Chain A
Amino acid sequence: MITGKLTYFRLVTELGVSGVRTLLRPSTLSLDDTVAQMRSIGAGAVPTAGLIAVTAGFILALVLEVQLSQVGKVEMVPSLLWVILTEQVVPVGVALIFTGRSVSAVAAELGSMQVSEEVKALFTMGIDITPYLLLPRFLGFQIMLPMVTLLGIYAALFGGWLLCGPVLRMSLSDYIFYALDGSRFTSVLVALGKSALFGFIIATTALYKGMNVRHGSREISEATTQSVVVAVIMVTLADAAVTALELT
């Protein structure tokens, strides 16, 4: 892990082993570091994710209202918003926000630590790299992405009401009633499951690309770019696969 190429399989294995060890002996994980990473990776993304979710909800509601008003089914706007936002738009959208904001930051930070020999220094101090450096960042993604996704769902639905309220003259209670009418609560579980999967994908991509930087700032910038591109592609493909599985 220090000088040789770190394979993706080895990274995932080490995270798994380290995770199990942490469950058995929680003291091996620095709670302070993990909370700091959760704050940096997740909490910092809340304003951006919230704003984009509200806007996405508003825009989608506008499109649906225009289309459904032509067939006299505007009362379906809230329930369609619920399904589309909860299961599709918000989980993917928040994962892409995390990718743009935090994947690049984590990959660049780890790459920089490799180049400046900080990782090597930790190794020579007898400090296990995985629980000290990688696991807190992994947990930062894995815990915070579902949480921010949940917040994003409420924010997006609120954005939908910002249109439905004044345009369709729908009260908030009517909006909630129509949104939940005929909707499945499992949509939220699907959203959380998807975001957990996306969290795993983008966290491991960031760690893999960052830890494989060896020499110079050029490699750091390449790793940063590649981590974002790979994470975006993988999240999109995973979303397509999960949606296809869910609907078939």
Chain B
Amino acid sequence: MSEVAEPEETTGAGQTGLPILEVADLGLTYPNGREVLNGVSFQVFAEETFVILGGSGCGKSTLLNILIGVLQPSCGRVRVTGQDIHRLHPAELKSIHLQCGMLFQSGALIESLSLLENVGLPLRQHYRRVAGDVLEETARLKLRMVGLEDHADKRPSGISGGMKKRAALARALALDPLLVFADEPTSGLDPVSTQEIDDLFIRLTRRIGAAAVVVTHDIASFFRIANRAILLGGERDGEYRGRVIMQGSRDDFRASSHPAVQRFLNTSLGAHPLS
């Protein structure tokens, strides 16, 4: 565990071998001079769940957009399986994307497609030579894994928020990725659905041996799913804004006496005591 300047890495589950994701000294400054991220560094190893914590507006989703190659950082690098994704040719970045799954906050399911077509979309696009019925059966299997096989023909607009998240998870896992990114996977869900999504997320990523990077401000989820985490500083954290306040395991966070960590945990936990 460490706090502020020198984030020390603790030994977490699966933290062996080369990292699947390596973020080094990442920074982002907008053209208007506003610094969003500064000196963010961490590594994610196979089969571990790494959580990016932070309050609203601290740059968590921006960081995630940089990690998936949607945004260019001002400085630093992001390596996925050893390749700097911001220096890759689009075709090479595409091959990286095939090894990654992304679960968006809103689900981001294609409205004009059924759930089955949504889950089958990456399969159809990347396995054009495979027979259509094989791809469809694979997509059905993924839907079955998240308990939505009976809703395969429904459109995203016809299902609940929790079901959308599950369908989006099935789509994110369709290509059996090495690394799964998730942006606030439980936002907007009731506590029961939140726990269901958390359990499903962990069970399925473990089943395919994927590492996961989850952005959340939900402390209950963090304690359920994380092996390790970083806490990003927000507007209220003064000099730590856009920086990593702390990096460590769940136990490290529980034990931390850093005032910003304590404030974040105690404010966010509410009815969920640390113990």
Given A3-B65, A132-B125, decide whether A123 and B108 contact each other with a Cβ distance below 8 A.
no
Instruction: Map CB proximity to A onto B97-139 as digits: 1 under 8 Å, 0 otherwise.
Output: 1101010111011110000000001100110100000000000
Q: What is the CB-to-nearest-CB distance from B67 to chain A, in angstroms, rounded to a whole number?
A: 10
Return chain B residues, CB-CB under 8 Å to A3.
65, 70-71
Return chain B residues, CB-CB under 8 Å to A122.
110
Let me know if B94 is at the binding interface, CB within 8 A.
yes
Q: What is the CB-to-nearest-CB distance from A174 to chain B, in angstroms, rounded to a whole number?
A: 50
A165 CA to B111 CA, complexed, in Å: 50
A3 CA to B73 CA, complexed, in Å: 13
Residue in contact with A2 in the complex, picked from B70, B100, B128, CB distance below 8 Å: B70
Contact B122 A126 (CB under 8 A): yes
Q: Which of B24-81 contact A (CB under 8 A)?
A: 65, 68-71
Contact B100 A124 (CB under 8 A): yes
Let me know if B275 is at the binding interface, CB within 8 A.
no
A112 CA to B108 CA, complexed, in Å: 11
Contact A126 B70 (CB under 8 A): no
Nearest CB to that of B102 among chain A residues? A124
Contact A121 B97 (CB under 8 A): no
Let me know if B95 is at the binding interface, CB within 8 A.
yes
Nearest CB to that of B100 among chain A residues? A124
Return chain B residues, CB-CB under 8 Å to A125.
97, 102, 121-122, 125, 171
Return chain A residues, CB-CB under 8 Å to B95.
126
How many residues does chain A have at the interface if contact means C-beta atoms less than 8 Å apart? 18
Q: What is the CB-to-nearest-CB distance from A10 to chain B, in angstroms, rounded to a whole number?
A: 13
Contact A117 B126 (CB under 8 A): no
Contact B71 A126 (CB under 8 A): no
Q: Which of A80-120 contact B (CB under 8 A)?
A: 112-113, 116-118, 120
Let me know if A27 is at the binding interface, CB within 8 A.
yes
Given A125-B97, A126-B95, A126-B98, decide whether A120 and B125 contact each other with a Cβ distance below 8 A.
no
Contact A118 B65 (CB under 8 A): no
A23 CA to B274 CA, complexed, in Å: 61
Given A3-B65, A125-B125, decide whether A117 and B106 contact each other with a Cβ distance below 8 A.
yes
A116 CA to B118 CA, complexed, in Å: 15
Return chain A residues, CB-CB under 8 Å to B69.
123-124
Given A118-B111, A120-B70, decide whether A126 and B126 contact each other with a Cβ distance below 8 A.
yes
Let me know if A127 is at the binding interface, CB within 8 A.
yes
Return chain A residues, CB-CB under 8 Å to B98.
126
Return chain A residues, CB-CB under 8 Å to B71.
3
Q: What is the CB-to-nearest-CB distance from A226 to chain B, in angstroms, rounded to a whole number?
A: 23
A107 CA to B106 CA, complexed, in Å: 21
Contact A118 B109 (CB under 8 A): yes
Return chain B residues, CB-CB under 8 Å to A113.
110-111
Contact A124 B97 (CB under 8 A): yes
Residue in contact with A126 in the complex, picked from B94, B109, B110, B111, CB distance below 8 Å: B94
Contact A27 B122 (CB under 8 A): no
Q: Which of A119-159 contact B (CB under 8 A)?
A: 120-128, 132
Return chain A residues, CB-CB under 8 Å to B121.
125, 127
A117 CA to B111 CA, complexed, in Å: 11
Q: What is the CB-to-nearest-CB distance from B272 to chain A, in angstroms, rounded to a whole number?
A: 29
Nearest CB to that of B124 among chain A residues? A30
- Residues of chain B having any CB pair with chain A under 8 Å: 65, 68-71, 94-95, 97-98, 100, 102, 104-106, 108-111, 121-122, 125-126, 128, 171, 181
Which 7 pairs, one residue from A and one from B, show the smallest C-beta to C-beta distance? A126-B97, A121-B108, A117-B108, A124-B102, A126-B94, A125-B122, A126-B98
- Residues of chain A having any CB pair with chain B under 8 Å: 2-3, 27, 112-113, 116-118, 120-128, 132
Q: List 14 A-B contacts (CB under 8 A).
A: A2-B70, A3-B71, A27-B128, A113-B111, A117-B104, A120-B108, A121-B109, A124-B100, A124-B102, A126-B98, A126-B125, A126-B126, A128-B94, A132-B125
